[in-house]
Amino acid sequence: MKNKKKLTIGLFGLGCVGGGLYEVLNRSSLIDAEIKTICIRDQNKKRTLSEYILTTDRYAILDDDEINVVVELIDDANAAYEIVSEALKRGKHVVTANKKMVAEHLDELIKLARKNEVSFLYEASVCGSIPVIRNLEEYYNNDSLSSVTGICNGTTNYILSQTNRGLTFAEALSKAQELGFAESDPTMDIDGYDSKFKLVLLIKHAFGITVQPDDIANTGIRNIKPQDLNYAAEKGYRVKLFSHAQKIGKHVLGMVAPYFVPETHFAYTVENEFNAIVVEALFSDKQLFIGKGAGSYPTASAVLSDIAALLFDYQYEYKKEQSVIDTFFTNDFSLDIYLGSSEGEIGLNELSFELEYTRFVSDEYAYKTGRVLFSELKAMDFNKKKHLFFAILPDASVGLSENPRITGAQKNKELIPG
């Protein structure tokens, strides 16, 4: 396609990513685009930009016919939804990095974009500078994907990297907060919610189905203890928080959970705030993407890439939707885990095992390994079980039930009309 037009941008948010975007866009001579207006929350905050470009009124952007692109980079998912949906209704292209907002309203926003013949792009919402969504859309369009696995949250990876060096979880979290890697309330990161919202988008672009966030189980690293880390170290493992999706026959399963990984695993040496994604397909086998998943410039670079794509009228085509009429999401499977308990056998007995491989009990700690039903793991909400920690064992095989139950909204799945 030919480069047809100049992009005039209305930017919502001038924080870490918004400020980074403003800087990198002004330093780039390759993109014919300019930011006309920036909507901010606090007009009294001291800034180096001219006050004439700033506003606190969202409609100064939404009502401006000269602005043909809205870039949304704010933290409030509800406000972001209102802005993005209204921009699409008004025929403006949208670029966003808000994974929670996109995951919670995905099909609705896709329909709005199609109805109004505009683009809705969100590469920056998953793994920062790693171009995973566009690769799933384009490069893997004709390849049969079997799984997507990744470290999708730099905060938890930084914390786990520090615990591997001897810090406790509390010490590592405090250090991450001091460096600005973790928020004062780190719940979204350490309980796996951030990773789950990203997994919703990975599943959509890898397998063509839309999964509601509530249907995906997310267990984070909040309750990891020194004894769990010692067990991993003794076995030669490291702990990583993965977003994982896998297709088995006509079913897709997905989860966010801690994993024990051996030295031979791709993620073993992925440290600190870096993210990594492995895509496995029938013909191309395994391919690894690594990059910084957060921060001003890495995320801004992904936003800038989406803006540049708009110059050529780029849109996600969601071609995989058309071939997955009989594909459904399920939590009805079993897998092998490690379960640690600071309350001895009493804690271990809270979760029933189909098979038990090993068991250890001492005055201070207890653990066992074995096979469990994943639906029972999901029902327990391990983020609230301070005395328990589980991790999925290396090379754990997944046992899909003979007649897997379809999960949530997938029971009444409809294709998004083209």
Contacts of 202 (CB under 8 A, 6+ apart): 126, 132, 133, 136, 148, 150, 152, 243, 245, 277
* Active-site annotation holds for 198: yes
Contacts of 188 (CB under 8 A, 6+ apart): 100, 194
Tokens of 293: 């998943």
- Neighbouring CB atoms inside 10 A of 210's CB total 22
Q: Which of 157, 159, 151 is nearest to 127 (CA)?
A: 151
Phi, then psi, of 28 in degrees rounded to 5: -90, 130
CA distance 201 to 327: 16
CA distance 352 to 89: 50
CB 1 within 8 A of CB 312: yes
> Which residue of the set 198, 247, 292, 320 is catalytic?
198
* Cα–chain center distance at 417: 26
| Virtual torsion, Cα 133, 138, 140, 145, nearest 10 deg | 50
What Å distances lie between residue 365 and 141, 338, 360, 377, CA to CA? 48, 13, 8, 20
289 three-class SS: strand
For strands 93-96 and 274-281, give the pairing. Answer: unpaired
Count the helices and strands in the chain (H runs, E runs). 14, 18
CB 365 within 8 A of CB 340: yes
For strands 238-248 and 217-218, give the pairing. Answer: unpaired
Where do we find the tokens 């994982």? Answer: 244
Where do we find the tokens 């959970």? Answer: 257
67 three-class SS: coil
CA distance 99 to 76: 11
Active site residues: 198
